[in-house]
Amino acid sequence: MPDGSSPNLPRRNPEDIDLGAIKADLEFLIERVARLSTRKEQALKPLYMMVGSAGLVILWIEFFWRHCL
């Protein structure tokens, strides 16, 4: 390789390409990408976790304060 270019890869025979398998793979990938959560959903998850945790702590303190003391 005197010019530094990569060697030519062998070309596939057009009859050997399985277009059905490629289409199935693309449909699978499109379905997976569609199920990804959006930026808004990802931003609200920590807020829900904080509010839920605070609510559980408040409920536990109220129960402990009223029934155990």
The reported pTM is 0.45
In the chain, what are the domain boundaries?
38-69
User: Which pLDDT score, from 0 to 100, does residue 66 have?
Assistant: 77
Residue 69 identity? L
Q: Could you tell me which of 40, 24, 20 has the C-alpha nearest to residue 32?
A: 24
User: How far is C-alpha 9 from the chain's CA centre?
Assistant: 34
Please list, in sequence order, all residues whose beta carbon lies within 8 angstroms of the beta carbon of residue 7, skipping any fewer than 6 positions away.
1
Residue 1 predicted with pLDDT over 70: no
CA 65/CA 69 separation, integer angstroms = 6
Tens-digit pLDDT profile for residues 11-64: 777 677 778 888 889 999 999 999 888 888 888 999 999 999 999 999 999 988
Residue 61 identity? I
